[in-house]
């Protein structure tokens, strides 16, 4: 979510629109932000309680009153109702965007807040067709734009299907499912291949021990967090994605556009929006471990297949170009 906001803001400010980013729960800025963008921090000690949320509503109300924006765009299911309330109290136009898996069950109080306040928004941004359908079915809003996430800019263009390395990118958390990928890689047992896992998170220690227990040290490499994702995508020819739940998988989109030959579980949501099976990637039914292993081995065995998928997936660079996505957003909120 934060990455998408930074990309969109950096593009829109170039159209000479004044842009402000208001953070609600943390003052950490992890991404490069154009100097012309005003960043305001509401809180760095949010504890999730009701009083903390009321305090954020109060601060956000006065911040919007002071800034007087033409339009407010809220990101994230938990705080979208807050964005709507404070914008409407200031008589401002407000749009919202849900960012997680549209099938995800939220806390009861958050679901009630969404049902009450989402219809008051001037419009909603959905990342996928599935997300739009769920919003419509629940009658949360009737003005919906499907807007996939914009891509980062790639400095290089290089198709190298001969590299014998698999890359995966994602936080080390249960839903990203890296341990299953390690199992699949181990079962295939092709000694001349390596698996690079890029990302950090609470499961780092557990996954490190798991790699050692399978005697895969040196074959499965935990890279950790990186500011140079292109460097690590450039080390391989295959991107393996085993995530169990997504809103819109940035990591997969970036890997396909890089390009790498990609294989992914068909998890909700967004993977099916990106991959056309056997054309620009391989789509595996969610949870079918045996099929995933079989298709990954086929991909590892065939340089020609890897090259074909790479050549077809690089078109994502145009389809999800940040300037195109930003212009669609701008047209939607200014119509």
What tens digit of pLDDT does each residue of 137-191 get? 999 999 999 999 999 888 777 788 999 999 999 999 999 999 999 999 999 999 9
The pLDDT assigned to 159 comes to 83
> Per residue in 200-254, pLDDT tens?
999 999 999 999 999 999 999 999 999 899 999 999 999 999 999 999 999 999 9
State the span(s) of the chain assigned CATH 3.40.50.2000. Answer: 2-150+321-334, 165-319
**pLDDT over 90 (residue 48):** no
Measured distance between the N- and C-terminal CA atoms of the chain, rounded to whole angstroms: 24
The pLDDT assigned to 278 comes to 97
Which residues neighbour 44 within 8 Å (Cβ) at sequence distance 6 or greater? 25, 26, 27
Distances from the Cα of 289 to the Cα of 197, 209, 295, angstroms: 19, 22, 10
Mean pLDDT of the chain: 94
**Closest to 330 in 3D by CA, of 15, 5, 2:** 15
Answer for the pair 293, 269: CB distance below 8 angstroms, yes or no. no
* Both structure tokens of 259: 């390009």
For 21, counting Cβ atoms within 10 Å of its Cβ (0-12 exposed, 13-18 middle, 19+ buried), the class is middle
Model-level pTM?
Answer: 0.88
β-bridge mates for residue 21, sequence order: 39
CATH superfamily for domain 165-319? Glycogen Phosphorylase B; (3.40.50.2000)
The pLDDT assigned to 288 comes to 98
CATH superfamily for domain 2-150+321-334? Glycogen Phosphorylase B; (3.40.50.2000)
Separation between Cα atoms, residue 169 and residue 263, nearest integer Å: 13
The pLDDT assigned to 25 comes to 87
User: What count of residues does the chain have?
Assistant: 335
């Amino acid at each position: 979510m934060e990455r998408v906001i930074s990309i969109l803001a950096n593009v829109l400010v170039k159209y000479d629109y004044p842009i402000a980013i208001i953070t609600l729960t943390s003052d950490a800025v992890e991404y490069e932000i154009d100097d012309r963008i005003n960043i305001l921090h509401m809180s760095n000690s949010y504890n999730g309680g009701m009083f903390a949320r009321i305090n954020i509503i109060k601060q956000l109300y006065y911040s919007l009153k002071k800034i007087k924006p033409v339009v407010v765009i809220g990101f994230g299911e938990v705080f979208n109702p807050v964005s709507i309330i404070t914008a409407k109290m200031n008589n401002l136009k407000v749009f919202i965007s849900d960012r997680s898996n549209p099938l995800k069950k939220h806390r009861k109080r958050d679901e009630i807040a969404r049902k009450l306040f989402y219809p008051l928004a001037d419009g909603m941004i959905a990342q996928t067709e599935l997300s739009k359908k769920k919003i419509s079915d629940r009658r949360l809003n009737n003005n919906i734009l499907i807007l996939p996430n914009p891509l980062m800019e790639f400095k290089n263009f290089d198709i190298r299907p001969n590299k014998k390395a698999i890359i995966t990118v994602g936080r080390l958390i249960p839903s990203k499912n890296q341990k299953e990928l390690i199992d699949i890689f181990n079962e295939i047992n092709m000694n001349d291949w390596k698996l690079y896992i890029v990302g950090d998170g609470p499961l780092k220690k557990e996954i490190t021990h798991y790699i050692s227990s399978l005697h895969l040290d040196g074959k499965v490499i935990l890279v950790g967090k990186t500011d140079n994702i292109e460097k690590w995508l450039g080390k391989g020819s295959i991107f393996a994605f085993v995530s169990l739940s997504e809103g819109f998988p940035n990591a997969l989109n970036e890997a396909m556009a890089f390009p790498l030959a990609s294989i992914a579980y068909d998890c909700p949501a967004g993977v099916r929006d990106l991959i056309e099976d056997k054309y620009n990637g391989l789509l595996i039914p969610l949870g079918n471990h045996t099929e995933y292993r079989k298709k990954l081995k086929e991909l590892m065995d065939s340089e020609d297949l890897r090259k074909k998928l790479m050549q077809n997936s690089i078109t994502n660079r145009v389809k999800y170009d940040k300037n195109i996505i930003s212009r669609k957003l701008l047209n939607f909120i200014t119509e």
